[in-house]
Amino acid sequence: MYDDEELPPALGAVLDDDRGHLPYALIHGESLVAAAAWALGEAGVTPVDLGTTWEGLADADEPFVLHDPLCPMTPPAFIAECVARAVERGCVVVGVRPVTDTVKVVTDGVVGDTVERTGLVAVASPVVLPASVVAALGGLPSTDFVALVAELRRRYPVELVEAPPYARRVGSVDDLRVLEALTSGATPGPGPRGT
């Protein structure tokens, strides 16, 4: 856990809506939702019930941290860093990963040129909304992180921060097994993730 004097107070939630059954699959013996919730707690973020009203979040005058259970191994230190950046800079902060897959242009069903990956990123986790954005929003425009970030970028300053490799998003059970193998004994936390 982080010293309360080091990290500004923040509220947070793990968003499992519209993600199918994968958030309840197991990694290192616990569900992805539980792993993500543990990371929020270890980062010093106070969890809120998803039934909490947006007005209640705005009245708290604290940043709001959104964590995706499909990025279950996002390190608590990275979450804490994103919260600190959002408070310090007064902007939305989004964890992203570099795109490593080959990306092609498709026009009218025909595969064309390869897109240069240098400037491409994939949204990961967390998305940290500073208190000013929470107050201005009136509610989340989407629980899908890609759609959410796209909307936020249209309305507010957004800083993209490269997340560590363990923060990668999983989209299938196969992805999950790869992430589990990569993080075995390497990330602090309960169970076999380390000590």
3-state helix/strand/coil string of the chain: CCCCCCCCCCEEEECCCCCCCHHHCEECCEEHHHHHHHHHHHCCCEECCCCCCHHHHHHHCCCEEEECCCCCCCCHHHHHHHHHHHHHHCCEEEEEEECCCCEEEEECCEEEEEECCCCCEEEEEEEEECHHHHHHHCCCCCCCHHHHHHHHHHHCCEEEEECCHHHCCCCCHHHHHHHHHHHCCCCCCCHHHCC
pLDDT-derived band at 98, boundaries 50, 70, 90: confident
pLDDT at 8: 85
pLDDT higher than threshold 90 for residue 114: no
Given a cut of 60, whether residue 157 has pLDDT beyond it is yes
Tell me if 84 sits within 8 A of 10, measured CB to CB.
Answer: no
Characterise 139 by phi-psi region: left (phi > 0), alpha (psi -120 to 50), beta (else): left
- What does DSSP say about strands 64-67 and 26-27: parallel, antiparallel, or unpaired? unpaired
Q: Place 116 in a pLDDT band, splitting at 50, 70 and 90.
A: low
Q: What structural domains and CATH numbers belong to the chain? A: 11-193 (3.90.550.10)
d(CA 195, CA 193): 7
Contact 107, 137 (CB under 8 A): no
pLDDT in tens, 44-97: 999 998 678 999 999 999 999 999 999 999 999 999 999 999 999 999 999 999
**46-47/11-14 β-pairing:** parallel
Average model confidence (pLDDT) for the chain?
85
pTM: 0.84
Looking at residue 112, its pLDDT comes to 63
